[in-house]
C-alpha cells in the first residue's frame, strides 16, 4: 500500500497518520457493514417479492403506458420504505423538484404549511415563498409557519403546539442538517416529533425531506409515522448509477396527488416514459446500501482525522450518524481551499482540474466546489463544497467506494501538509 500511495505523491508521515486512525476505526466500521447488510437484504427482499425481471430493465418511449419496469420499481420502493405507494420518476428532475411536487400537490389555497424543526433547505425558501419567487406556494395563497429549534437544539414542543391551528395541513421535517449547523435528526427523534404532532392534530400530513438520510439507519422516517418521504436519486438511493430522478414514497392519496401534479389531472401515474434509465435505477438502488456505508465510513474517517488535527467537525469523531454529510471548519481560507483541491485531485474524473473560489448565483460570497463525478452534480459521489467566508467550513459527502473516500481524505491531508498548513505529530 505504502508504495502505491508513494506513487500518488503521499508522504510516509501522512500515510502513517491515516493508517493509525483507520486501525482504530475498525470496530465502528464493522457496525456499519452490518447496517449495510441489513439494508442490502431489505432491498433484495423487495426486488424478489415484486418479481423484478429482465423485462423490467427495458424502458418505454412516448406516453409510457404500461411501463412494467417503472411500475414495478415503484412497488419495490414502496416495500423498502413500507409505504402504500411510491412515485419514482426520471421526470422528477432533482430533490428540490420532488419536495416542491410533494408540497404543491398536497396543499390547497388557504392551507398552511408548518416547519416544526427550523428553517428548511435553502432551495425550499423559494418554493415556499420565504424568499419572493414566481410560482411559490405563497403566490397560491398557502401560508407558512416556522418553529425554530431551542437553543439546546431540542424541538420547541410548546412553540409547535401553539403554531398548529385549523389551517395547518402539512408538516415538513428535514432529516439531514443540510448546510446548517444543527445536528441531523435520527429516525427515532423524528418519530417522537411525529407522535407529538399527531397527538395535537391526527389528520395532518407529515412529510420528511429524506435527502442524504436513506439507508444510514435500519429504519426510515416512514417507519415512524411519516406520510411521505421524499428524496433525490442522484443522492443515496440512486447508488451513484441513477443519472437523474427523484422519489416520493407514502400514503396512496399523497402519492397520487403528486402524480396528478407531475403529469396531469386524469393521467397521474399512468404516463411518464422511463426511456433507458430503469436498469440504472434498479442497479443503483441495489448498490445503494453498500455505497451509503462507504460514504459513512469515509465521513467518520474524515471526522477523526480532522478532529485530531484540532479542527471543529460536525458530526464529531464519535457521534452516531444520521446522514452522510461531514462538515469541517477550518477558520482559514487557504486550508479550506487546500482541502477541496485535495478531494478534486483524488477524483477519477476531472482530477487535473483545480477548483478555485467563484461567485455563484444565489450566494452572498464566493463558493468553492470539488467534484469529479461520473454523474454531473451527483453528491453520492465524493464531493466537497462550501462558501468561502468565515468560518471557512467545508461540507463533504459521498464516495462510491471506501478505498476512494479514504484516498480522497488522505489526498486532502497531503495537500495541507505540503503547503505547511498542518503539522503531523
Ligand atoms: C440536496 C438536498 C435537497 C435538494 O436537492 P437538489 O437535488 O439539490 O435539488 C433538499 N434537501 C436536502 C436536505 C438536501 O440535502
Helix axis angle, 12-49 to 402-418, nearest 10°: 150
pLDDT bracket for residue 50 (50, 70, 90):
very high
Which of 103, 178, 242, 244 best tests ligand 1's pocket when mutated (most atoms within 8 Å of CB)?
178
Yes or no: say if 297 and 405 are a contact pair by the CB < 8 Å rule: yes
- The yes-or-no verdict on residue 213 having pLDDT over 90 is yes
183 alpha carbon – ligand 1 mean position (Å): 16
pLDDT (tens digit per residue) in 375-398: 999 999 999 999 999 999 999 999
Q: With contact defined as beta carbons under 8 Å apart, do 342 and 412 qualify?
A: yes
Residue found under cell 439531514: 176
Per the CB < 8 A criterion, the answer to whether 351 and 343 are in contact is no
Q: What pLDDT score does 365 carry?
A: 86
Alpha-carbon torsion (402, 406, 412, 418), positive or negative: negative
**Overall average pLDDT of the 45-64 stretch:** 97
Provide the CB-side half-sphere exposure for 124 (13 A, CA). Answer: 24
Residue 121 CA: nearest ligand 1 atom is 11
Query: Which residues make beta-bridge pairs with 249?
Result: 86, 229
Q: How many CA atoms lie within 13 A of 345 on its CB side?
A: 19
d(CA 170, CA 156): 18
Of all residues in the chain, the percent with pLDDT exceeding 90 is 95
The angle subtended at Cα 219 by Cα 214 and Cα 221, nearest 5°, is 70
> Residue 89's closest CA among 272, 293, 229?
272
* Helix, strand, coil percentages in the chain from 3-state DSSP, rounded to 5: 45, 15, 45
CA of 371 to the centre of ligand 1 (A): 16
Ligand 1, atom 12, residue with closest C-alpha: 211
SS3 322: coil
Residue 362 has pLDDT above 70, yes or no: no
- How far, in Å, are 119, 149, 244, 377, 398 from residue 382 at the CA level? 26, 30, 17, 10, 4
Burial class of residue 183 (count of CB atoms within 10 Å of its CB; 0-12, 13-18, 19+): middle
Confidence class of residue 182 from pLDDT cuts 50, 70 and 90?
A: confident
Q: How far is CA 84 from CA 222, 226, 230, 255, 265, in A?
A: 10, 12, 14, 9, 20
Cα 380 to Cα 397: distance, rounded to the nearest angstrom = 7
Q: Which residues, other chains included, contact 298 with Cβ-Cβ below 8 Å and sequence gap of 6+?
A: 326, 382, 398, 399, 402, 405, 406, 408, 409
Q: What is the per-residue pLDDT for 165?
A: 98
Ligand 1 geometric centre to CA of 272 (Å): 23
Ligand 1 pocket: which of 190, 211, 299 to mutate (most atoms within 8 A of CB)? 211
DSSP string computed for 350-399: STT-----EE-TT-SSEEEEEE--SSTT-SSSSEEEEESSTT-EEEEE--
Cα dihedral 359→360→362→365 (10° resolution):
-30
The answer, yes or no, to whether residue 217 has pLDDT greater than 70, is: yes
Mean pLDDT over the full length of the chain:
96
Q: In what order do the strands lie in the sheet containing 358-359?
A: 312-314, 326-329, 393-397, 383-387, 366-371, 358-359
pLDDT at 361 over 80: no
* All structural domains of the chain: 2-41+285-418 (3.90.1150.60), 61-275 (3.40.640.10)
Provide, rounded to the nearest whole percent, the portion of the chain with pLDDT above 70.
Answer: 100
Nearest 5°: CA angle at 367, between 365 and 371? 170
Query: What is residue 220's DSSP assignment?
Result: -
Distance CA 262, CA 36 (A): 33
| Sequence-separated contacts (24+) of 401-404 with Cβ below 8 Å | 401/291, 401/294, 402/293, 402/294, 402/297, 402/298, 404/294, 404/346, 404/348
Q: What pLDDT sits at residue 215?
A: 98
What's the alpha-carbon Rg for the chain, to the nearest Å? 22
Other C-beta atoms closer than 10 Å to the C-beta of 42 total 18
- Residues having CB closer than 6 A to ligand 1 are 94-96, 121, 123, 174, 176, 178, 209, 211-212, 232
| Choice from 93, 117, 121 to test ligand 1 binding pocket (greatest atom count within 8 A of CB) | 121
Atom of ligand 1 nearest to the CA of 175: 13
Task: For residue 348, report the distance from its CA to the centre of ligand 1, in Å.
Answer: 24
**Tens-digit pLDDT profile for residues 23-40:** 999 999 999 999 999 999
Q: List pLDDT tens digits, range 116-132.
A: 999 999 899 999 999 99
Q: Are 289 and 36 in contact (CB under 8 A)?
A: yes
Amino acid at each position: 500500500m505504502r508504495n502505491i500511495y508513494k506513487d500518488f505523491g503521499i508522504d510516509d508521515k501522512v500515510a502513517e497518520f491515516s493508517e493509525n486512525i483507520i486501525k482504530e476505526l475498525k470496530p465502528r466500521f464493522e457496525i456499519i457493514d452490518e447496517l449495510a447488510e441489513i439494508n442490502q437484504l431489505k432491498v433484495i427482499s423487495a426486488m424478489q417479492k415484486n418479481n423484478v425481471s429482465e423485462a423490467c430493465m427495458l424502458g418505454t418511449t412516448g406516453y409510457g403506458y404500461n411501463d412494467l419496469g417503472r411500475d414495478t420499481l415503484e412497488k419495490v420502493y414502496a416495500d423498502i420504505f413500507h409505504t402504500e405507494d411510491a412515485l419514482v420518476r426520471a421526470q422528477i428532475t432533482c430533490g428540490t423538484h420532488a419536495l416542491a411536487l410533494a408540497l404543491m400537490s398536497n396543499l390547497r389555497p388557504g392551507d398552511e404549511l408548518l416547519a416544526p424543526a427550523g428553517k428548511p433547505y435553502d432551495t425550499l425558501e423559494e418554493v415556499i415563498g420565504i424568499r419572493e419567487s414566481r410560482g411559490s406556494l405563497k403566490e397560491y395563497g398557502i401560508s407558512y409557519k416556522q418553529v425554530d429549534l431551542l437553543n439546546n437544539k431540542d424541538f420547541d414542543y410548546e412553540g409547535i403546539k401553539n403554531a398548529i391551528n385549523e389551517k395547518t395541513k402539512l408538516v415538513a421535517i428535514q432529516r439531514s442538517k443540510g448546510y446548517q449547523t444543527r445536528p441531523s435528526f435520527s429516525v427515532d427523534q423524528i418519530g417522537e416529533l411525529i407522535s407529538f404532532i399527531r397527538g395535537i392534530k391526527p389528520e395532518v400530513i407529515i412529510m420528511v425531506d429524506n435527502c442524504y438520510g436513506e439507508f444510514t439507519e435500519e429504519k426510515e422516517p416512514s417507519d415512524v409515522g411519516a406520510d411521505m418521504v421524499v428524496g433525490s436519486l442522484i443522492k443515496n438511493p440512486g447508488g451513484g448509477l441513477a443519472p437523474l430522478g427523484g422519489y416520493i414514497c407514502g400514503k396512496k392519496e399523497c402519492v397520487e396527488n403528486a402524480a396528478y401534479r407531475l403529469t396531469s389531472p386524469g393521467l397521474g401515474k399512468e404516463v411518464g416514459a422511463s426511456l433507458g434509465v430503469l436498469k440504472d435505477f434498479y442497479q443503483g438502488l441495489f448498490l445503494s446500501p453498500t455505497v451509503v456505508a462507504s460514504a459513512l465510513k469515509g465521513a467518520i474517517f474524515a471526522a477523526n482525522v480532522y478532529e485530531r488535527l484540532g479542527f471543529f467537525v460536525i458530526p464529531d469523531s464519535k457521534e452516531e450518524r444520521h446522514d452522510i454529510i461531514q462538515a469541517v471548519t477550518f477558520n482559514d481560507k487557504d486550508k479550506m481551499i487546500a482541502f477541496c483541491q485535495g478531494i478534486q485531485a483524488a477524483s477519477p474524473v476531472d482530477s487535473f482540474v483545480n477548483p478555485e473560489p467563484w461567485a455563484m448565483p444565489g450566494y452572498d460570497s464566493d463558493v468553492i466546489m470539488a467534484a469529479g463525478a461520473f454523474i454531473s452534480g451527483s453528491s453520492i459521489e465524493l464531493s466537497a463544497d462550501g462558501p468561502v467566508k468565515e468560518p471557512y467550513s467545508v461540507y463533504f459527502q459521498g464516495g462510491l467506494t471506501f478505498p476512494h473516500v479514504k484516498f480522497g481524505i488522505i489526498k486532502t491531508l497531503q495537500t495541507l501538509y505540503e503547503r505547511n498548513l498542518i503539522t503531523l505529530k
